[in-house]
Amino acid sequence: NEVDAVIQVNGGSPLQPKITATGCALGALIAAYSAVTTPTIAALSAHIHFAIAGKLAANQAQTMGSFSSIFMDYIHMLDANLIEQYADVKLLNKQA
């Protein structure tokens, strides 16, 4: 195994599941990250990316429609600096 641990990614917004095709978009982002790293790191990176985009969009949005648009904008414009600033990841346990 690449990582013998449970990793918790915090962030996001309760509005994310209300956007049609959000799960499909997450899958596409995992695939994009998979082009440049291992599957586990790709999945973790994509979930962090989505969590940050959701959190930042929720902080700005006043309606469901604006959340959807701002969320997609953040998916596109997140960079390494924003990811380092907002990533909230915890290693919950390590398997023996």
Q: 22-47: per-residue pLDDT in tens?
A: 999 999 999 999 999 999 999 999 99
pLDDT of residue 96: 56
- Compute the average pLDDT of residues 4-9: 90
Answer yes or no: is pLDDT of 3 > 80.
no
Q: Specify the number of domains making up the chain.
A: 1
> Which domain range does residue 51 map to?
5-94
Alpha-carbon distance of 68 to 1, in angstroms, equals: 36
Query: By the 8 A CB rule, do 80 and 1 touch?
Result: no
